[in-house]
Chains A and B, each alone.
Chain A
């Protein structure tokens, strides 16, 4: 169990979350190894299948980092993403997999510290949950 190295896939939008990523970088705050970042134009573009595929292919956790509700460039991207994340949580639950392995985070453009913190938070959470296959 101690050698379990979680693999996490993170989707982040090209707007708020991406700016936060830049701030985070300029502050030399790194994202833990094992977190793979995928930038998308808007989190509203992320389909349910995009959120499931990583689990199918070996990820232990997935998260979406997007804008705050009132600052989404495309109005409702993050709300759409949140609903799809909720759908995937339900699917995971039905498969007896912890729904906490997927999450949505909302952050504003300047929150570089928060951007790095979210990645560590998810890493810690998934580390505690252990591998999906149960060994």
Chain B
């Protein structure tokens, strides 16, 4: 899933301090799963904004709405007739959400309520960890099913580097050295030699380095 974290409320009230009618807009997708942008969090943020209104003597009207997803136009359409009622929209979906809302409703003032962090998963309750950097050409099978691009601090394709110590990365002892794990795993599987085999350099044209990306699937295009 896409993992995000809430922006500090102080930053959010600064963003919307000149508006009176504010819509807090949630998403039932990834951000609900990582407990940052679902209906529950919409309620908490809306309540915090109302308390701020009380504190500062502002006559705020804070609305709450949660879409099935904010990354699909058909759900964004649901906001027709709603967005116009507000002076500002705080989208607490990943960064895709505020953009889809802004694109569909060009006159609306849209603000991001969360900081989108990475693609990853929950490794324990309340703890998320990065797993994929969206390079556009997956190669984890070369590395025991583990991604050195997203999980090695230097995105090395031929690690570990000299900074690896006791399975930890030199940037911080809390950070696993994924290359240590890759080598151990390949050793256990008796496939260590595969890491030595020559592979042509990875093309980064499929990654962000190739500019903004899009994808067309003809069989789905109407």
Contacts and interface: CB of A to CB of B under 8 A. Distances in A.
Most A CB contacts (10 A, CB to CB) among B13, B48, B50, B52 go to: B48
Given A132-B54, A132-B55, A133-B55, A95 B47 contact: no
- Looking at chain B's contact residues, the main secondary structure is helix
Nearest to A83: B126
Contacts, number: 44
B82 interface: no
A94 B8 contact: yes
A52 B13 CA distance: 17
A133 B9 contact: no
A3 interface: no
Interface residues on A, range: 10 to 19
B51 A56 contact: yes
Interface string B45-73: 00110111011010000000000000000
B9 A91 contact: yes
B89 to A, nearest CB: 20
A70 interface: no
Most A CB contacts (10 A, CB to CB) among B10, B54, B57 go to: B54
A48 interface: yes
Contacts of A97: 51, 55
B44 interface: yes
Nearest to A132: B55
Interface in A120-135: 132-134
A45 interface: no
Given A56-B50, A95-B9, A95-B13, A134 B55 contact: yes
Interface in B159-199: none
Interface of B: 8-10, 13, 40, 43-44, 47-48, 50-52, 54-55, 57
Given A47-B40, A55-B51, 5 more contacts: A49-B40, A49-B44, A52-B48, A94-B9, A132-B54
Top 3 A-B residue pairs of the complex, sorted by shortest distance between their CB atoms: A52-B47, A94-B9, A94-B10
